[in-house]
Chain A
Amino acid sequence: MELSEIKGRTLRVCALYPDLMNIYADRGNLLVLQRRCEWRGIGFELAGSGLGEPLDAGGHDLFYIGGGQDRDQRLCAEDLLTTKRASLHEAAARGAVVLGVCGGYQLLGHAYTLGEEEIEGVGLLDVRTVRDPGSRLIGNVAIDVSLEDESGPRVLAGFENHGGRTHLGARANPLGRVVKGHGNDGRSGLEGARAGNTIGTYLHGPLLPKNAWFADWLIATALHVEPRRLSPLEDSLERDAHRSARRAAGV
């Protein structure tokens, strides 16, 4: 597809539970998507879908779900199952990007445990999150990620803070390999999960401001164009911020 054709396009983003699942400054992720579209002349539409609201499977190119407090995440888990599961599966099946960060990542799996209780997730990713008597996994983190359309592995840097340990099922691929930090469970050396264009990760900080290259990959993938088709931007501050986050992780 030619550059000129991308220019008139619009990225339609839907944030799931923006009032409840936003604990780690998740709006930074949305703001980065918005600005990087606008600066390229790509349209940007942001919709929110809260508790009890149906989800328009065909109406959005990218679905985002962030992290929340335990009580709020539980409310959202119930609502995802009752009002949004079918639409989210339909959207993912036609290639929309679904990005879950932290608590949102846990909700995209089969289930997660909260206290003594197992709470069902939407099952878009073949992962399961359990509690561990050990302490929370907290700190700066850097992972190596290999994505198609990229010439080689690239680094995602961020901050993780999770009590749950996420285990990958037989059909799941990790998003990346831990270079520094804890990752999914503090043991496997794996971080996040990916199935097609559905991606889950514990990296916040927020994720996209620290990794503008990945924001561009998501924009391109959601619009079904190759990332190199996106016009380059003046990214010196973005590169410095990425380096700063990597340095904090020791990479």
Chain B
Amino acid sequence: MARLLTPKLALARAAGALSRLRGGGATSVPGRLLLALEPDALGALALRLDQGSVLVSATNGKTTTAAMAASILERHGVELVHNQAGANMAGGIASTLLSAARSRGRIAGELGLFEVDELWLKPVAAQLRGLRAVLLSNLFRDQLDRYGELETIADSWISALREGPARAATLVLNADDPLVADLGRDRDGSAGDGAGDDRAGERRVVYFGVEDNSLGLTGMAHAADAKHCRRCGAPYVFDTVYLGHLGHYHCPSCGRRRPSPTVRASAVTLEGVRGARFRLRVPAGEVEVKLGLPGLYNVYNALAAAALAVALEVPLADIVAGLESATAAFGRAETVTVDGRETRILLVKNPAGTNEVLRTLALEPGEHDVLGVLNDNIADGRDVSWVWDADYELLAGRVHSFTCAGTRAPELALRLKYAGVDPHRIRVIDDVEQALTTAAADRPGGGEPLYALPTYTAMLALRELLVGRGEAGSSWS
């Protein structure tokens, strides 16, 4: 195998170099070619990792969660092979493994840490020999033109976990998302009796969740999904809702309840766009964590990363130190300077994620200057309906200026008008660079930051602009 693999690795590497020479940032090119030459390349290369690999998937927070897990694991002294640039389909993961592969069957790294696209979990998990843990964090309504219905993804995850290397892996699951928590039911001893015992001793499933009643929302968000019991189809009763459809729930019909998590966050304090604090409890103890990333969604990301670390038997001190030193993955709560003005980039790509960003913004006092960039490229989803599912109403009365840019800028502007934002404070400038310059110049001299809310490809475009101006580091480190 290794003898046959070597020339294929070289060929794929050469193709990658060629693609970069032609100006492509596409990190998945060599990996895609490698997979075409050698369909089992993922498995063959993953076997070289002494500590095996772990997979991270979710609708929201994959990249940040993996970045937090990387920070923890590196502090613990583990050498990682990690697709940190976010190329998260099979080709991207193959590229990451390819660039770590060395001659004579070696690889530069001990553990593979791979975020994986929701739809690619199944094929990637099937190939990744030595898979130790699969972290699944949430499923939200997202890009229906590409992903289809949520339950379809949940079904593909069920079959992904029942086959191949994933059967022997530890599952790390969000107890607060009923669609995700249900994936553990075959393993956690709760399948028969609905008791929700996660049998922490066996470590087959590690659940994480938030336990803080002060954070509960008054009702389910409009765009909430997963309202029906995965077992019997009856509507769940939510005793507490934290975010979208994440919360504490039970099924009044069959008795299925939220599993009791072994990794928990309580006493959560959200500090606007600057950060968050919470008490983290793991089997080894309880400790205060200060995150440099904002919002309850990042508390969930931190909990997920901590739970993965618990599954990998990392000591609590390393978990806390890793979380506290974690910085934003690019374009996710990243701060840059544009023409002298502090600018915070907050990626938005679907209703649940957007709502959390808007909630976080609304925690900051005063009126805000916002640059919203709505693109409809394939990676954003061609269908921009979702902006009507996001609660832009949270910004009504809180906008100093809202600049709309991107391929579907006028439709974002219209959404804001119907959300109750004063139309005189809304402007449309399709061109992203011009929009950025204009928005940054809005309140010269003021200490107020500009908040940039781009969709995925808009975030890449925005960062490319900033890198060109020397105002941000390269995305493709």
Interface assignment of A1: CB less than 8 Å from any CB of chain B: no
Q: Which residue of A lies closest to B146 (CB)?
A: A138
Residue tally, chain A, CB below 8 Å to B = 34
Inter-chain contacts of A27 with B (CB < 8 A): 222, 388-389
Query: Could you tell me the distance in whole angstroms from the C-beta of A153 to the nearest C-beta in chain B?
Result: 23
Residue tally, chain B, CB below 8 Å to A = 35
A69 to B414, CA, bound (A): 27
Inter-chain contacts of A238 with B (CB < 8 A): 414
Q: Which residue of B lies closest to A36 (CB)?
A: B418
B144 touches A161 (CB 8 A): yes
Query: Could you tell me the distance in whole angstroms from the C-beta of B374 to the nearest C-beta in chain A?
Result: 10
Interface assignment of B6: CB less than 8 Å from any CB of chain A: no
A31 to B222, CA, bound (A): 13
In-complex Cβ contact of B423 among A139, A237, A245 (8 A): A237
Query: Could you tell me the distance in whole angstroms from the C-beta of B142 to the nearest C-beta in chain A?
Result: 12
Interface residues of A in 188-215 (CB under 8 A from B): 204-206, 209-210
Interface assignment of A171: CB less than 8 Å from any CB of chain B: no
In-complex Cβ contact of B410 among A24, A31, A69, A244 (8 A): A244
A31 to B385, CA, bound (A): 13
In-complex Cβ contact of B145 among A71, A161, A248 (8 A): A161
A23-B376 contact given A69-B149, A140-B382, CB 8 Å threshold: no
B383 touches A205 (CB 8 A): yes
A237 touches B382 (CB 8 A): no
Inter-chain contacts of A210 with B (CB < 8 A): 411
Interface assignment of A28: CB less than 8 Å from any CB of chain B: yes
A28 touches B376 (CB 8 A): no
A69 touches B151 (CB 8 A): yes
Q: Which residue of A lies closest to B220 (CB)?
A: A19
A71-B383 contact given A210-B411, A241-B410, CB 8 Å threshold: no
Inter-chain contacts of A237 with B (CB < 8 A): 410, 413-414, 417, 423, 426, 428
Interface assignment of A155: CB less than 8 Å from any CB of chain B: no
Interface residues of A in 26-79 (CB under 8 A from B): 27-28, 31-32, 35, 69-72
Inter-chain contacts of B407 with A (CB < 8 A): 248
Interface assignment of A25: CB less than 8 Å from any CB of chain B: yes
Query: Could you tell me the distance in whole angstroms from the C-beta of A234 to the nearest C-beta in chain B?
Result: 8
In-complex Cβ contact of B388 among A31, A35, A234 (8 A): A31
Query: Could you tell me the distance in whole angstroms from the C-beta of A246 to the nearest C-beta in chain B?
Result: 11
Inter-chain contacts of A243 with B (CB < 8 A): 410
- Render B351-363 as a binary contact track against A, CB cut-off 8 A, 1 for contact: 1000000000000
